[in-house]
Chains A and B, each alone.
Chain A
Amino acid sequence: MPERRRISLRRLVTNGPALVGALLVLTAVACAFLAPFITAHDPVNAQLRLRLDPPTWDAASKAHYLLGADAVGRDVLTRIIYGARISLTVGLTATAISLAIGVVLGLLSGYFGGWLDSLIMRIADVQLSFPFILLALVVMAIFGGGLAKLVLVLGITGWVSYARLVRSQVLTVRELDYVQAARSLGASDLRIIVKHVLVNVISSIIVLSTLQVATNILLEAGLTFLGMGVDPSIPSWGGMLADGRNYITNAWWVATFPGFAIMFTVLGVNLLGDWLRDELDPQLRV
């Protein structure tokens, strides 16, 4: 029976990759919370005269923004800092929604089986077989664009991975001797689920969630690329990247730095996720 270990900060600090991951995530979170204190510039207002002004080290730079200005003359760095708010919110909120729906449905489906399982899995099949991008575009065509709706669409459509993963793990775990034993000893269903099954799938869920946070940040970019209707003045990293692609060859800073922001954040989330997984799964510790 797997024993649970408490997450220890001391072990985090001594684990190189995990520390890097934690620092990256912390930086992004700090940007999100402290944005107005870190930068004095306006992330939204256009300054057309500074359109595509190069980064400060470039001789042609007029405004001397550290990372240059975007297509309507806003400071790219400021937008990246404020963008942490938007992108983290999009990534985390959508993932949380998916996670909540998916885990609950997956546990119910896998543990109880029967008609409930059939029903949930059929809904999952429908969800899964509906091409996501097209669904998102049709939904946006009905209800209009906007970030909140986009988060909802991402969240509601993302649950299936969790449900299926949890369910397939449950199917395996359910057959294990100690679960059978607990059952025969008269442990209540809820207890069995929480105590045995959830503990066993948690590492997979963490891995999947870290992936999902990243995926959601990227999907927001992809949907913006397709013209999905997110207010372009809202500084989301994905939107900055999608809009900046038009300037890759002559104003590379517009898209490249938001690209780095996404990359480092995704990297951080994943490193941290890997470490958490190992921490929660003591048998893996050598």
Chain B
Amino acid sequence: MFKRLSLKVWVVALTASLLLVACGSGSNAPAPAPTKTDSAPATLEFKDTLVIGSQYGDPQGSWDPIDTFLLAWGEVACNIYDGLVDRGVDLKLKPGLATEWKFIDDKTIEFKLRQGVKFHNGEPFNADAVVFTFTRLLGPDGKTSPQLSNYTSIDKVVKVDDYTVRFMMKEMDPVIITKLAGYGAMIISPKYYQEKGDAFFNTNPVGTGPYKVTAYTKDSQVVLEANPDYWGDKAKTKKVIVRFIPEDATRVAEFQTGAIDIMQTVPVAQVKTLQADKNVKVLPVGGPTAWALRFDISKSPVDKLEVRQAIGYAIDSKTIIDTILSGNGKLISSFQGDGSFGNNPDLKPLEFNPAKAKELIDKAGAKGAKLDVFFSSKAVIQKEIAQAIASYLKDVGLEVVLNPVDPQQLSGTLITEGKAGHMYLFGWGGWTLDYDNTAYLLYSKGQKWDPYFNDAKVNELLTKERTSTDPKVREQAMKDLTVRLRETMPDVPLYQAVAVWATGAKVQGFVAPPDDRMRLAPVTVTK
């Protein structure tokens, strides 16, 4: 009886296949970390290799400081290069390759350089290297650099003697010292670069940092080796492998199998599970990145202030943080983190008030309006937040069309060309930790990121803040600015991101970096 038999076989086979799926997916508890069952060793022995799982794809094939603006670059490259100024994992500025600096006048800064420092190739570090680095950035080579716009306030850098340089500024730049800890200001070796050429340098970079690059496979991994001649605290682990694993599920799998020691960006859904595992250390860290829902105020109906305010009142950011982010986020009142200079603690985050939102929408006659929201199609969290926002807005009588798009396209063309719908989810790195960087680029008249917003008072406050050296004047101006921006609402600030890292219990000395720049020198892994 073929028919009856075959049915039975079908059922059996189907059940088997379901089991296959179930045993793949049904594990609530994390698999135990691969513990070798040997008892605790009498003396601590260290592994000579540390493996890190990066959430980024790759720094796009170049380790040259002026070719990049990607966190994928910075997280690794801060171990390869040093700047004149160093920003520690506590985000405080301290001497780097410069031991001290002083303002000779508003437009001249003098740096004393550290002596006896060598590049990875043995070349000595001196004033010539600093001059070369900045001449390259500000000269023809830097013309196509995404870093150039950060350093346009510098006119030129001149050598005073072998270990003294002066920065001659075109204009006052209140955050220049911070910027000298930034990507584009990392010092490179002049001879090596000139002899080997740009292309070679891209994949075989040489700096003064605690680690040097020994092997690099694009989209796969970069291998670092401790620099035995490092001028500061030398690296404790001989070899570091940074693997690029952008797929969340894969990175978590690698971490659970113990193939990686440090995992960047634990997916929020996994945080609780990993916290319960005593073989794992979960390290949340609030960073400078903030998220906002930004409006294109040239489009109706969000050209009306009431509608923008209504949207602000309609969104329950607190619940978004508690649920979608599993608490890994902080409420903000303006588009900056709480560690940012210029943050205004007196300004309260926008309240969640759907009734008021409805009222405002009725008043503006925008009931039933259809709004396009753009966001990154690649970030899980942004996708979920966008859906939540759509529901919140539906509750107050607005209709939302969700448009997930490629993140590069969103920031590269859509926003700057005014094609990102009525509003879009937008994250801003705020790496200088100074509201100036964010506010100027986002709110000042005719800027790339918001070609349409223009408010006289905002412009005035920005100019005031930019042209003063007095921190008190600047801070007050920026606090006033946050109030003015609340009144004009070019965006709805949503939250300050909290990044979550995880390490195996045997990893020592790793501090989760708020700016993604991993300081690897002090890290060890016990066997």
Q: Which residues of A contact B (CB under 8 A)?
A: 14-17, 20, 44-49, 51-52, 71-73, 141, 144-146, 227-233, 243, 245-252, 255-256, 259-260, 263
Contacts and interface: CB of A to CB of B under 8 A. Distances in A.
B523 interface: no
B102 interface: no
Contact of A233 (B26, B28, B378, B402): B402
A151 to B, nearest CB: 17
Label chain B's interface by main secondary structure.
helix
A14 B6 CA distance: 13
Given A51-B324, A52-B269, A229-B403, A46 B377 contact: no
B92 interface: no
Interface string B404-438: 11100100000000000000000000000000000
Nearest to B30: A249
B390 interface: yes
Interface in B336-380: 376-378, 380
Label chain A's interface by main secondary structure.
loop
Contact of B10 (A20, A229, A232): A20
B19 to A, nearest CB: 12
Contact of B3 (A16, A243, A246, A252): A16
Contacts of A45: 391, 394
A72 B405 contact: no
Interface stretch (B123-131, B228-236, B381-389, B442-450): B381-389
Contacts of B252: 249
A1 to B, nearest CB: 29
Contacts of A230: 404
Nearest to A252: B25
Nearest to A137: B406
A256 B22 contact: yes
Given A52-B269, A144-B403, A247-B269, A17 B27 contact: no
B93 interface: no
Contacts of B27: 249
Contacts of A251: 269
A148 to B, nearest CB: 13
In the A-B complex, list the 6 residue pairs whose CB atoms are closest, starting with the nearest.
A227-B377, A252-B25, A46-B391, A227-B378, A48-B323, A231-B402
Most B CB contacts (10 A, CB to CB) among A49, A248, A249 go to A249
A49 B323 contact: yes
A71 B384 contact: yes
12 contacts: A14-B3, A16-B3, A45-B391, A48-B316, A48-B388, A227-B406, A232-B404, A249-B28, A249-B270, A250-B28, A251-B269, A252-B22
Contact of B267 (A141, A243, A246): A246
Given A16-B6, A249-B30, A46 B387 contact: yes
Given A16-B4, A233-B402, A46 B390 contact: yes
B320 interface: yes
Contacts of B273: 249-250
A48 B249 contact: no
A46 B391 CA distance: 6
